[in-house]
């Protein structure tokens, strides 16, 4: 899962990639391959036909309006037999190429890419690759899945929502598609009857709801407008568990329900967990619509073949925003990281006007740990927000320790502490059980010793693995009539973040190994033992627990979380740096309340609850997807690049106290290892929802620009042709730093470079002055330093950079455009390698 887990758990998923089936030769192992054909997919054909009506040439043309994109995505309905025709073409090719041999076709893709997924041997895959109709053959690969207060922290109730007419119209008519683990359709966050005003039917959306035993008729409505599932690759590998994974859009994990509610959940839904009320929840765009494309599963994550099928269907259905809280388990091989089936399908989705958001990954804080690579994908890292749930335990020696636990307290009453290891029944043989301290089995503990006392339990690695649970320990304590539970951290649990956990009785988890030692030292030194038998005859340690049900908003935030993946963006498997800024920005991702599936099993502590608190870049991405829906509603003609620009240039650079945003630098004790965040930690900054709805100036770019960029990569021409159907011959190429992005990133500055950026005024007539700070070891200037720009007009900015000293450590600068009508445009600047002239010889 792309939520917070120990790194070694992620390694288990990698083992699933090699699962295969023997079909033709007992000694030859089959695998699943994604095959793309040279003929363009339907989306390219329709788009090219439509765009020719709008432009005379390759480069310069007016933007195609949103209504045109919607027409494009639904033109396939004009010929309902087109998809089946393409499928027959694929079948014919397979029969001709693999005469008399066994194979299994899983999917026919026809909308975003023209191709299919098929189970074949390596020899058969080689035969397919040599067919003249075939452009590319890629082995399937695995992927993994990467709120009550965050609307207030982002300023939505006072800022962005009023600009859209209030929360009850925020995002109305915009369809957010999520590729995830499915959805629980019965959750009130997705009801269409929560408000007086009926939800409209999004006319441009043509998706359907699958009907199965797990997802019966009536599961969808005007809020949840589409739901499908994709699992052919997983089923073919023999790892699909029908009883747990559900062959339907139903969410047996919890992750998909959670992310969907963050982006689009209804406003004002009470968050009740373990009988405690934690406020009311709302999605970022509570009036938007949800379409779910389930391609990820609890037991094994997912596979590219299924994800590509989900992307292809979502685009064909007509989603406006596509959110992926998933990342690949390995860096894509080949000419460049951008050339993989998922990213290239998303490129065509962007061409069709869909704004694509992806989680950065939870592999931070190491440099180049980013798992979302391409400039057409908006990559989101995870940051904290200012709501923290803390509780405390006050020991009898006047020492107070902080902890994590969504639990009530003991009302200042001191109770005796007793360890489970010292509370064994006289007739038990359990002293040989090394796990007795985890409090999972009440039958081996003496109720006379435990009753009315605070039971001390060990939080071991088995809790991290899900073998032992907080819920079971609480049940043990209740069965024995304990006054409460205190969990201390086992010393073998290293670098694991413990989220606040719901408890239906007084309790606390001490998440620090050092504080756990303090507790145990006090407890052990307070024991009175028999001088002869050494048995404990008196438990002298006492403590009280103060409850953790009320949030504390005094903490400085946002802060980039240690697990959030970092740039620079690796261009290829050799880790050459791309001239692309990743992540694009950061958003709330830590300790996020969200809806939970009624049968969600990913977090045992929230099993059976309607809401769960989860952390990860998976939670950050749907925040931005929902905010993008607000922009899409206000500016329906904005291209995906324009939406990305509005989010980026308005991002905040300061925390709520006015200081620089900080970034955690270590997996262990992260708050003890922090420093100011750089663009490779936070991209353009922390998302500012209100400012993004009034960006003033935007940096726009086109699909043709992206093709020019891809053609500029050394050796990429055949791959570009394979995936896009376009030849690089005669196309003016560009490097990454020349893309009209709202940032400037230069992997290698060899002496000097000039970079141009073009801004478009989407606001009022305004006069701007230009300011900048140069990266260390670089001198720079920007021309012009002042400009007047009318509404709808463009202005070219030329940034001249000169390396003044050699260096291999990244340095950072910033360009600011300051308008006299209050608009501020923020452009981060990053330079990694610098090579200058020798000063003495010049």
Which residue numbers are catalytic? Answer: 180, 255, 618
Strand, helix or coil at 32?
Answer: strand
**291, 21, 253, 31: which is closest to 144 by C-alpha?**
253
Q: Distance between CA atoms of 789 and 810, rounded to whole angstroms?
A: 34
The tokens of 808 are what?
């291999």
Helical axes 82-97 vs 42-52, angle rounded to 10°: 130
Structure-token match 């109730």, residue found: 157
Length of the chain equals 842
Distance CA 832, CA 842 (A): 24
Q: How far apart are CA 463 and CA 484, in angstroms?
A: 19
Give the C-alpha distances (Å, rounded to integers) separating 680 from 332, 363, 579: 20, 14, 12
3-state SS assignment for residue 237: coil
State which H helix or E strand residue 653 sits in: none
Query: Of 196, 131, 125, which is closest to residue 167 (Cα–Cα)?
Result: 196
Q: How far apart are CA 202 and CA 173, in angstroms?
A: 5
Spatial separation of the C-alpha atoms in residues 63 and 616, rounded to whole Å: 36
The tokens describing 683, both together, are 């991209």
For residues 109 and 112, what is the distance between their CA atoms, to the nearest angstrom? 7
Cross-strand bridge partners of residue 789? 766
The token pair that represents 811 in the structure block: 């340095």
Give the phi and the psi of residue 766 in degrees, each rounded to 5. -155, 150
Give the DSSP H/E element, type plus range, for residue 147.
Answer: none
Cα–Cα dist 556/577, whole Å: 33
DSSP bridge partners of 404: 509
- 751 burial class (0-12, 13-18, 19+ CB within 10 angstroms)? exposed
How many Cα atoms are found within 13 Å in the side-chain-facing hemisphere of 594? 33
């Amino acid at each position: 899962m792309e939520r917070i887990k120990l790194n070694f758990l992620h390694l288990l998923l990698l083992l699933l990639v090699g699962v295969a089936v023997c079909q033709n030769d007992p000694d030859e192992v089959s695998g699943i391959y994604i095959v793309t054909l040279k003929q363009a997919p339907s989306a390219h054909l329709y788009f090219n036909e439509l765009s020719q009506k709008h432009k005379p040439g390759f480069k310069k043309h007016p933007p195609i309006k949103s209504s045109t994109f919607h027409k494009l995505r639904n033109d396939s309905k004009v010929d309902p037999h087109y998809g089946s025709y393409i499928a027959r073409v694929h079948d014919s090719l397979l029969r001709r190429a693999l005469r008399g041999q066994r194979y299994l076709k899983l999917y026919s893709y026809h909308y975003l890419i023209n191709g299919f997924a098929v189970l074949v041997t390596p020899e058969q895959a080689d035969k397919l690759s040599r067919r003249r109709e075939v452009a590319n053959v890629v082995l399937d690969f695995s992927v993994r899945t990467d709120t009550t207060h965050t609307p207030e922290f982002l300023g939505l109730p006072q800022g962005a929502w009023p600009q859209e007419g209030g929360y009850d119209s925020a995002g109305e008519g915009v369809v957010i598609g999520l590729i995830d683990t499915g959805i629980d359709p019965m959750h009130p966050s997705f009801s269409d009857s929560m408000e007086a005003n009926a939800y409209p039917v999004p006319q441009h959306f043509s998706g359907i709801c699958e009907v199965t035993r797990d997802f019966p008729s009536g599961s969808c409505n005007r809020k949840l407008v589409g739901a499908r599932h994709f699992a052919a690759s997983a089923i073919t590998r023999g790892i699909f568990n029908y009883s747990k994974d559900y062959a339907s859009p139903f969410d047996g994990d919890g992750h998909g329900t959670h992310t969907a509610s963050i982006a689009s959940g209804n406003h004002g839904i009470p968050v009740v967990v373990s009988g405690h009320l934690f406020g009311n929840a709302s999605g970022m765009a509570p009036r938007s619509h949800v379409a779910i494309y389930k391609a990820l599963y609890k037991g094994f994550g997912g596979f590219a073949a299924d994800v590509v099928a989900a992307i292809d269907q979502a685009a064909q259905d007509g989603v406006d925003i596509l959110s992926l809280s998933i990342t690949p388990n390995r860096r894509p091989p080949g000419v460049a990281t951008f050339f993989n089936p998922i990213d290239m399908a998303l490129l065509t989705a962007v061409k069709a006007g869909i704004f694509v958001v992806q989680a950065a990954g939870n592999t931070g804080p190491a440099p180049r740990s980013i798992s979302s690579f391409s400039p057409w994908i908006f990559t989101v890292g995870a940051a904290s927000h200012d709501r923290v749930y803390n509780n405390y335990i006050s020991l009898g020696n006047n020492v107070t320790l902080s902890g994590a636990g969504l639990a009530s307290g003991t009302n200042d009453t001191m109770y005796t502490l007793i360890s489970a290891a010292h509370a064994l029944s006289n007739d038990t043989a359990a002293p040989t059980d090394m796990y007795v301290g985890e409090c999972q089995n009440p039958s081996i503990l003496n109720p006379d010793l435990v009753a009315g006392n605070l039971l001390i339990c060990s939080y071991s690695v088995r809790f991290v693995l899900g073998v032992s649970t907080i819920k079971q320990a609480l049940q043990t304590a209740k069965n024995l009539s304990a006054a409460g539970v205190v969990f201390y951290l086992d010393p073998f649990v290293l670098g694991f973040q413990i989220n606040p956990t719901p408890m239906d009785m007084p309790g606390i988890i001490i998440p620090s190994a050092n504080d756990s030692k303090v507790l145990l030292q006090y407890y052990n030194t307070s024991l009175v033992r028999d001088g002869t038998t050494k048995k404990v005859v008196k438990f002298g340690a006492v403590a009280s627990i103060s409850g953790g049900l009320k949030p504390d908003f005094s903490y400085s935030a946002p802060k980039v979380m240690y697990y959030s993946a970092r740039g620079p963006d690796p261009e290829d498997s050799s880790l050459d740096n791309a001239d692309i800024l990743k992540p694009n920005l950061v958003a709330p991702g830590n300790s996020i309340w969200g809806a939970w599936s009624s049968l969600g099993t990913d977090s045992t502590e929230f099993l059976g609850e309607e809401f769960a608190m989860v952390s990860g870049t998976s939670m950050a991405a749907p925040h931005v997807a929902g905010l993008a829906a607000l922009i899409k509603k206000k500016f329906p003609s904005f291209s995906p690049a324009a939406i990305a620009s509005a989010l980026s240039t308005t991002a905040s650079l300061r925390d709520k106290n006015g200081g620089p945003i900080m970034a955690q630098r270590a997996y262990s004790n992260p708050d003890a290892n922090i420093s100011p965040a750089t663009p490779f930690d936070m991209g353009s900054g922390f998302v500012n929802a209100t400012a993004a709805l009034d960006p003033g100036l935007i940096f726009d770019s086109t699909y043709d620009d992206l093709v020019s960029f891809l053609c500029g990569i050394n050796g990429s021409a055949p791959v570009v042709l394979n995936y896009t159907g376009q030849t690089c011959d005669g196309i003016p190429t560009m490097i990454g730093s020349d893309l009209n992005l709202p940032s400037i990133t230069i992997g290698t500055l060899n002496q000097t470079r000039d970079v141009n950026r073009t801004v478009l005024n989407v606001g009022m007539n305004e006069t701007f002055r230009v300011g900048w700070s140069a990266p260390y070891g670089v001198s720079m200037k920007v021309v012009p330093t002042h400009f007047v720009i009318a509404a709808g007009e463009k202005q070219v900015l030329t940034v001249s950079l000169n390396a003044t000293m050699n260096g291999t450590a990244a340095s950072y600068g910033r360009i600011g455009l300051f308008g006299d009508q209050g608009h501020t445009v923020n452009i981060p600047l990053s330079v990694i390698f610098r090579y200058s002239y020798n000063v003495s010889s010049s």
